[in-house]
Amino acid sequence: MAVDLLLGLQWGDEGKGKIVDVLTSKYNIIARFQGGPNAGHTLEFDGIKHVLRTIPSGIFHKDSINVIGNGVVIDPVVFVQELDGLDQFNLDYKSNLIISRKAHVILPTHRLLDAASEISKGKAKIGSTLKGIGPTYMDKTGRNGIRIGDLELDNWKEKYRALANKHEAMIGFYNVDIQYDLKEMEDEFFSAVERLKGLQFIDSEEYLNQALKSGKPILAEGAQGSLLDIDFGTYPFVTSSNTTASGACTGLGVAPNKIGEVFGIFKAYTTRVGSGPFPTELFDNTGAEMARIGHEFGAVTGRPRRCGWLDLVALKYACQVNGVTQLSMMKGDVLSGFKTLKVCTAYTYKGETITHLPFNIEAENITPIYTDFKGWKDDLTTMRDVSEFPKELNDYIEFLEKELEIPITIVSVGPDRTQTINR
């Protein structure tokens, strides 16, 4: 057996949670491999909308095991809030939710450090979610972080105290006005840790490799999007982990030759939350209308998403670095009613026309070159079969398939499970 991957190909918010939810029935194990509570995977079914942050999107399927891999960073406080949100569904998460001992823990002081760092940047801020993700990964690479397995040791609170004291000294270095009550934050944190310790901790790389040996199909679920990858994203406006396919190997402990299908998820247009370059961003009524129809607000932060036309140059790049084998196009229904659709097929870069993503895509360096397509008026949300699609939508999809040289096997026409059409 192999590990199949599901990845976002833009700046996050592509609809990964929904597709994982749809695909879960085909897999025994769903595994998160990077990121933390900065993720917001939205699932809608039976009239219920639910947002998951750290817990894999297979949690609502009673027959699936959900693994949080070593590449994930976990905030016990947020995690417990997620568990509380699941209690209404009577899920047996103590049986089907397991956590890698090598996953790192987000401390209260990590969140404070995140806030202090972002405030100190002023207008140069990167748009952090302020969840403590960056500082936790910094401690990981700095080799002084606290891992889930440490919570099983008798001296873990001593390790905590030493690290928290170090963080407080660092907060002072930033010299910004940040008000906090650390004792109150710690009381909440320690209480959450005790609840967390009631779940199963595992040596996840051994667990997953044994599962592969026994023939169990595994789906690895990524968070954020490929253009937010620490190496291959629009640096420095990126997250602190590898959101691309390579991150699944390091974040789960599976070898590259164990990777099977790579499912890439993209929106029929493009969105971005927070700061950073966005070549196809729209600042007119068209962009505002996209945001309104698509309900473009961050699932975790609530921040409005910036909207623009599909950037095919960036999408090709993401497909390339991930080795995507199948594509899912999300939110096709949002484009209904626009007379003309545009797709960015090249950039003007330093006086030249290029079709690859350059080192710098700031607005002063590049201008998008668009190809126009005729739009459609049909309401896609009621459609349940490809045969119902308007010709203009099929033309749009077929153009993208030809350019990307990858089949678009799923088209989403609404947020619910049932609004997912296989091609």
Tell me how crowded residue 90 is: count the other CB atoms within 10 A of its CB.
7
Cβ atoms within 10 Å, residue 309: 24
Length of the chain: 423
pLDDT (average), residues 122-150? 87
Q: Does position 8 have pLDDT exceeding 90, yes or no?
A: yes
Q: For 232-280, what is the HEC assignment?
A: CCCCCCCCCCCCCHHHHHHHHCCCHHHEEEEEEEEECCEEECCCCCCCC
Write the CB contacts of 101 (distance below 8 Å, at least 6 apart in sequence).
70, 147, 148, 149, 152, 201, 202, 203, 204
* In the predicted structure, residue 126 carries a pLDDT above the cut 70: no
Report residue 18's pLDDT band, with 50, 70 and 90 as the boundaries.
confident
pLDDT of residue 123: 64
Q: Which of 417, 55, 10 is nearest to 243 (CA)?
A: 10
Mark whether 61 is an active-site residue: no
For residue 364, is pLDDT > 80? yes
Tell me whether residue 167 is one of the annotated catalytic residues: no
Give the model confidence (pLDDT) of 347-360 as tens digits: 999 889 999 999 99
Active-site position among 4, 21, 41, 139: 41
Beta strands 218-221 and 270-272, pairing class: unpaired
pLDDT band at 209 (very low <50, low <70, confident <90, very high): very high
Catalytic residue among 13, 114, 139, 311: 13
For 33-72, what is each residue's pLDDT tens digit? 999 987 777 776 666 677 788 998 888 888 899 999 999 9
pLDDT over 90, % of the chain: 77
Closest of 138, 224, 156 to residue 196, by C-alpha: 156
Instruction: Quote the pLDDT of residue 301.
Output: 66
Confidence category of residue 362, pLDDT binned at 50, 70, 90: very high
CB within 8 Å of 180: residues ≥ 6 apart: 112
Mean pLDDT across the stretch 313-328? 98
pLDDT in tens, 379-401: 999 999 999 999 999 999 999 99
Q: How many Å apart are CA 345 and CA 349, to the nearest integer?
A: 13
- Tell me whether residue 413 is exposed, middle or buried, using C-beta atoms within 10 angstroms of its C-beta: 0 to 12, 13 to 18, 19 or more: buried
Mean pLDDT of the chain: 92
